Amino acid sequence: MATTLKGSGVSPGTGYAAAHLLVGSIPEPPKGAVHDGDAGAEKARVQAALEEVAADLEARGERAGGEAAEVLSAQAMMARDPGLAEGVGELVDAGVSGERAVYEAFGAYRDLLAAAGGYLGERVADLDDIRDRAVARLTGAPMPGVPVDAAEPYILVARDLAPADTALLDRNLVAAFVTEEGGPTSHTAILARAMGVPAVVGCAGATALVQGTPLLVDGATGEVVIEPEPAAARAAVATARARAEALSGTTGPGATADGHPVPLLANVGGPKDLEAALANGAEGVGLYRTEFLFLDRADAPSEAEQQAAYRAVFDAFPGGRVVVRTLDAGADKPLAFLPPPGEEPNPALGERGLRMFRRYPDMMAAQLGALARAAEGTEAIPYVMAPMVATVAEAAWFADACHAAGLETAGIMIEVPSAALRARDLVKVVDFFSIGTNDLTQYAMAADRQIAGVSDLQDPWHPAVLDLIALAADAAGAAGKGCGVCGEAGADPVLACVLVGLGVTSLSMGAPALPWVRASLARHTLDQCRAAADAARSAPGASEAKEAARACLTGLGDLGL
- List binders of ligand PEP among 402-421 (CB under 6 A): 415
Per DSSP, the residues of 436-498 read -HHHHHHHHTT--TT-GGGGGG--TTSHHHHHHHHHHHHHHHHTT-EEEE-SGGGGSHHHHHH
Binding flag, residue 182, Mg ion (CB under 5 A)? no
* Contact positions with ligand PEP (CB under 6 A) in 282-321: 287, 289
What is the closest distance, in whole angstroms, from the C-beta atom of residue 287 to ligand PEP in the complex? 6
Q: How far apart are CB 507 and ligand PEP at their closest, in Å?
A: 12
The answer to whether 238 and 11 are in contact (CB under 8 A) is no
Pick from 346, 343, 435, 424: nearest CA to 389 = 435
Supply φ then ψ for residue 368, to 5 degrees.
-65, -35
Interacting residue with ligand PEP among 29, 222, 463, 487 (CB under 6 A): 487
Contact residue for ligand PEP among 437, 458, 505, 520 (CB under 6 A)? 437
Q: How far is the CB of 403 from ligand PEP (least distance, A)?
A: 23
Q: Which of ligand PEP, Mg ion, none binds 486 (CB below 5-8 Å, type-dependent)?
A: ligand PEP
Is residue 439 close enough to count as binding ligand PEP by CB under 6 A? yes
Phi, psi of 383 (to 5 degrees): -120, 145
**Do strands 264-268 and 321-325 pair parallel, antiparallel, or not at all (unpaired)?**
unpaired
Q: How far is CA 517 from the centre of its chain?
A: 16
According to the binding rule CB under 6 A, does residue 330 interact with ligand PEP? no
Q: How far apart are CA 6 and CA 496, in angstroms?
A: 32
- Residue 265 contacts ligand PEP per CB under 6 A: no
226, 213 contact by CB (below 8 A): yes
CA 268/CA 260 separation, integer angstroms:
25
Is 328 near ligand PEP (CB under 6 A)? yes
402 counts as catalytic: no
DSSP-derived pairing of the beta strands 8-11 and 199-201: antiparallel
What is the amino acid identity at position 261? P
Catalytic residue among 203, 402, 483, 486: 486
The residue (of 262 and 486) whose beta carbon lies closer to ligand PEP is 486
Give the per-residue contact string, 113-132, with ligand PEP (x = CB under 6 A; - = no). Answer: --------------------
Among the residue ranges 172-180, 253-261, 434-442, 494-502, the one whose residues contact ligand PEP (CB under 6 A)? 434-442
The single residue of 187, 402, 524, 529 carrying the catalytic annotation is 187
3-state secondary structure of 19: strand
Residue 187 among the catalytic residues: yes
- At its nearest, how many Å lie between ligand PEP and the CB of residue 329? 11
Active site residues: 187, 486
For ligand PEP, the binding residues (CB under 6 A) are 287, 289, 328, 415, 436-439, 486-487
